[in-house]
A and B are shown apart, each in its own frame.
Chain A
């Protein structure tokens, strides 16, 4: 079975065609700079069968046009027509709690979750609608980041707000980055030869933008550092992470900020960018932190790493005897300094990193823990698209 996976960003559309259940990539591409004209032209970067990437420059005003252009490229090889389509949905909310096949009813339900993730959900839903027309008769599946976290128990998902108050009863923790967490957790269990159903771990998805930790028990998510929205938790590139709700109240009441301004401040001007004052990328900050005259960088780095270390301790405590700690995504995979500092002096939790192995960590999967570490420390390259394809395949075979 050939499954075509779409993963939409606000101005991008990634696609990958897999042969399942072999997990073999047949074709892949990314439409970039979709939407209004930017400093560089819109283009599609693509390849077949793991070959070299090629670039096609073509204007794309929206995701529907990007889809058409991408499909033109895919049609170059007739054997690559898909048997099924799978889409990533960042936030399924309470309406799409589990991964699902898309029918007429689901198309209507999807409209209800459009606003939940204003950057990611609208283009994904537009692409699903466009596919319903373009690939009429071919089954479509929706795989959501929040579905993996649907197993978070009420004790962890509940906020301590009035339970029966009609204006607060719907607030709960959804968790994010579920597709990536699910993938690396399953790869780690395979690698360590532990049945997934009895595998406990902490997965650290450290992206260059968003980042979250996930506590896993018996292969299932039991907590995630993000919450009702992707704002809380770790310090991210431009998001503040955990914050005293009293601070928001003070900005609104004492300093007369309006809601939009506070939202903008905390989502786009905080985190590493707000702390350092110049870069949103923790890699730049780590490079500069040791240099003289970069005290803000040093502070930003310390706060970023300290929050991460505390959450690792918190999640190891709740995971109840973790077999592994997993690092993944851009920062987690490629910045050994982060892994080294976060895992240092954690022997109380049975964690001991091997610095040489850490420096030489090779992807897609690598064990960087010392031989006598009770908990394995793994670096795993994430692959959200294959995770989406696997979930869709499961649905289609069910």
Chain B
């Protein structure tokens, strides 16, 4: 079986070709501006058009709102649902356009959408909701969604397997990505997540501000006369660890901390990490495993060591919590997602044929 995995990120879409065992044959990144049916044909099809033809495709979507609690098969209905949950930060039209370009090349193949937010859709209400008017929250879909659910879900599955699949095992899942996210998970149910209604909230990212007093936005507008667009640019692209370090930096550069600015950015990162882990441990009254995942997972050991030293004076028996690295890449996780989701592949084929 050949599986195509499509992962849109900030500037590009990565396309991987894997088999059913998650073994990768091919990986290519296409910038958004050159993502078209022509370029896809060129990249993904051999001259005879057969070799890389997929049996099924999976696409990662960052946001599924309150609607998508699990992976779904692409259809007209899905398209409509996506457009209904579209907002400023998640413009469904872009993704729909990419999907349609892809399906123009592979029209008879089922495409499954997997959402980063699905894992957190059943967060307890006490964690999911903010301290604002609850009727307003409902009307405007204001709640925490979390934004690295695919990594967290897989990392916790991995951790449970490693430590003997105990039923109510308490896992602190730390996803080391450009926007690092922490989740507290009991068994397979998340009870806390640092990501919020948008990916801005939580631990400062490489370029995003993280937790911030909302009153600062008011002052930026009233005192500094910044427009909403300017503030958006500032908070989403010029802040975070890069803002602190006064230049564009990645998380590994910060963790290496070779200059005073980078060292300070690193201290800020760990300070937020420590607080969030403290909150997660309180949410679970303990921790049995700390599992690292994400593209920077190789830094997990280094982060884990420093974190454990910082938390040791306050948390009893922290040393007995297992530290694990879940090194699986996102495209492999996604390729396996179709087998563990309850979408039967035979049904995919049937639905896809009848839809089109």
Interface contact B135-A244, CB-CB below 8 Å = no
A229 and B275: CB pair below 8 A? no
Q: Does B330 contact A (CB under 8 A)?
A: no
CB <8 Å contact, B275 and A165:
no
Are B311 and A317 interface neighbours, CB within 8 A?
Answer: yes
Q: Are A155 and B268 in contact (CB under 8 A)?
A: yes
Asked if residues B279 and A319 are in contact (CB atoms below 8 Å), the reply is no
Q: Which residues of chain B are near A314, meaning CB under 8 Å?
A: 275-276, 278-279, 282
Partner of A232, one of B144, B213, B280, B282: B213
In the bound complex, do residue B213 and residue A231 qualify as a contact, i.e. CB atoms below 8 Å apart?
A: yes
Q: Does A249 contact B (CB under 8 A)?
A: yes
Which residue in A165, A266, A271, A310 is a CB contact (below 8 Å) of B214?
Answer: A266
Residue of B nearest to A251 (CB): B140
CB distance from B94 to the nearest CB of A (A): 17
Distance (Å) between the CB of A214 and the closest chain B CB? 14
CA distance A286 to B94 in the complex (A): 46
Residue pair B276, A266 in contact (C-beta under 8 Å): no
Q: Which residue of B lies closest to A226 (CB)?
A: B213
Q: Does A130 contact B (CB under 8 A)?
A: no
* A318 engages B134 (CB within 8 Å): no
The reply to whether B243 and A162 contact each other, CB–CB distance below 8 Å, is yes
Of B135, B216, B271, the residue contacting A228 (CB under 8 A) is B216
Output the least CB separation between B233 and chain A (Å): 11
Q: Give the chain B neighbours of A296 by CB distance below 8 A.
A: 134
Q: What's the minimum C-beta distance from B29 to chain A, rounded to whole angstroms? A: 27
CA distance A304 to B271 in the complex (A): 24
What is the minimal beta-carbon distance from A104 to any residue of chain B, in angstroms? 28
- Known contacts A155-B267, A254-B88; is A160 also within 8 Å of B209 by CB? yes
Residues from chain A with Cβ under 8 Å of B314 in the complex: 316-322, 349
How far apart are the CA atoms of A158 and B276 in the complex, in Å? Answer: 16
CB distance from A182 to the nearest CB of B (A): 22
Chain A: which residue is nearest B223 at the CB level?
A: A167
Q: How far is the CB of A356 from chain B (nearest CB, A)?
A: 22
How far is the CB of B206 from the nearest CB of chain A, in Å? Answer: 10
Query: Lowest 5 CB-CB distances: which A-B pairs, in order?
Result: A313-B282, A317-B278, A246-B198, A160-B204, A227-B213
Given contacts A162-B243, A314-B275, A320-B314, 5 further A-B contacts (CB under 8 A): A245-B212, A246-B200, A248-B214, A348-B282, A349-B281
14 chain-A/chain-B pairs, Cβ below 8 angstroms: A158-B268, A242-B131, A243-B132, A244-B200, A245-B235, A246-B200, A246-B201, A259-B221, A275-B134, A306-B127, A309-B283, A311-B279, A313-B279, A348-B317
